[in-house]
Amino acid sequence: MAVASAAPGSIFCKQLLFSLLVLILLCDACQKISLRVPSHLQAETLVGKVNLEECLKSASLILSSDPNFRVLEDGSIYTTHDLILSSERKSFSIFLSDRQRQEQKTIEVVLSARENKAAKKRHAKDTALKRSKRRWGPIPCSLMENSLGPFPQHIQQIQSDTAQNYTIFYSISGPGVDKEPYNLFYIERDTGDIFCTRSIDREQYQQFALYGYATTADGYAPEYPLPLIIKIEDDNDNAPYFENKLTIFTVPENCRTGTSVGKVTAIDLDEPDTLHTRLKYKILQQIPDHPKHFSIHPDTGVITTTTPLLDREKCDTYQLIMEVRDMGGQPFGLFNTGTITISLEDENDNSPSFTETSYVTEVEENRIDVEILRMKVQDQDLPNTPHSRAVYTILQGNENGNFKISTDPNTNEAVLCVVKPLNYEVSRQVILQVGVVNEAQFSKAANSQTPTMCTTTVTVKIKDRDEGPECHPPVKVIQSEDGFPAGQELLGYKALDPETRSGEGLRYRKLGDEDNWFEINEHTGDLRTVKVLDRESKFVKNNQYNISVVAVDAVGRSCTGTLVVSLTDKNDHPPQINKDVTICQNNKDFAVLEPVDPDGPENGPPFQFLLDDSASKNWVIEEKDGKTAILRQRQNLAYNNYFVPIKIKDRHGLVATHELSVRVCDCSVSSECNLPAKNLRDVRPNVILGRWAILAMVLGSVLLLCILFTCFCVTAKKTVKKCFPEDIAQQNLIVSNTEGPGEEVTEANIRLPMQTSNICDTSMSVGTVGGQGIKTQQSFEMVKGGYTLDSNKGGGHQTLESVKGVGQGDTGRYTYTDWQSFTQPRLGEESIRGHTLIKN
**One-letter amino acid identity for 770?**
G
Q: Identify the three-state secondary structure at position 22.
A: helix
Cβ contact 666:639 at 8 Å:
yes
- pLDDT tens digits for range 333-362: 999 999 999 999 998 888 899 999 999 999
Of 308-322, 356-370, 735-749, 822-836, the least confident:
735-749
Lowest mean pLDDT among 93-107, 501-515, 787-801: 787-801
**Model confidence band, residue 447 (pLDDT cutoffs 50, 70, 90):** low
Peptide bond into 181 cis (omega under 30): yes
Is 557 or 333 the better-scoring residue by pLDDT?
Answer: 333
The DSSP letter of residue 569 is: P
For residue range 649-660, what is the model confidence (pLDDT) as tens digits? Answer: 777 777 878 878
450 falls in which pLDDT band (50, 70, 90)?
low
170/572 Cα distance (integer angstroms): 141
Which domains are seen in the chain, by residue range? 33-113 (2.60.40.60), 141-233 (2.60.40.60), 241-345 (2.60.40.60), 353-463 (2.60.40.60), 475-568 (2.60.40.60), 580-665 (2.60.40.60)
SS3 643: strand
In sequence order, the 6+-apart residues with CB closer than 8 A to the CB of 368 are 418, 419, 420, 421
Higher pLDDT, 258 or 832: 258
Averaged over 237-260, what is the pLDDT?
Answer: 91
293: pLDDT confidence band, cut at 50, 70 and 90? very high
- 321-335 pLDDT tens trace: 999 999 999 999 999
pLDDT digits (tens, 9 = 90+) for 597-646: 777 777 778 887 888 777 777 788 877 777 788 788 877 787 888 888 88
Inter-residue contact 96 to 56 (CB < 8 Å): yes
d(CA 106, CA 103): 10
pTM metric for this prediction: 0.43
Are 136 and 96 spatial neighbours (Cβ–Cβ below 8 Å)? no
Q: What is the pLDDT of residues 198-223, one digit of tens each?
A: 999 999 999 999 999 999 988 888 88
**Alpha-helix runs per DSSP H in 34-174:** 116-124, 126-136
Place 18 in a pLDDT band, splitting at 50, 70 and 90. very low
Q: How confident is the model at residue 765 (pLDDT cuts 50, 70, 90)?
A: very low
Sheet arrangement for strand 608-611? 580-584, 655-665, 640-649, 608-611
Average pLDDT over residues 787-807: 42
* pLDDT of amino acid 563: 85
Find the mean pLDDT for residues 56-65: 82
pLDDT digits (tens, 9 = 90+) for 121-163: 333 333 333 333 444 556 678 899 998 888 999 999 888 888 8
DSSP assigned state of 261: E
- Contacts with 738 (C-beta within 8 Å, 6 or more apart), sequence order: 744, 745, 827, 830, 831, 834
User: How much of the chain exceeds pLDDT 70, in percent?
Assistant: 74
User: What is residue 125's predicted lDDT score, i.e. its pLDDT?
Assistant: 35
Note every long-range contact of 14-17, with CB atoms under 8 Å and residues 24 or more positions apart, other chains counting. 16/67, 17/65, 17/67
pLDDT greater at residue 840 or residue 538: 538
Q: Rounded to an integer, what distance in angstroms lies between the CA atom of residue 544 and that of residue 566?
A: 5
In the chain, count of helices (H) and strands (E)? 6, 52
Percent of the chain whose predicted confidence (pLDDT) is above 90:
28
pLDDT digits (tens, 9 = 90+) for 558-588: 888 888 888 777 676 788 777 788 888 777 7
> Which residues are CB-contacts of 728 (< 8 A; sequence separation ≥ 6)?
816
The answer to whether the CB of 171 falls within 8 A of the CB of 219 is no
Torsion angle, CA of 531/536/540/546, rounded to 10 degrees?
A: 30
pLDDT of 718: 54
Distance of CA 784 to the CA centre of its chain: 95
Q: Are 581 and 494 in contact (CB under 8 A)?
A: no
pLDDT at position 802 = 45
Which DSSP helix (H) or strand (E) runs through 715? helix 691-717
- What is the band of 494 on the pLDDT scale with cuts at 50, 70, 90? confident
Each residue's pLDDT tens digit, 519-529? 888 888 888 88
Q: Is the pLDDT score of 771 beyond 50?
A: no
Average pLDDT along the chain: 76
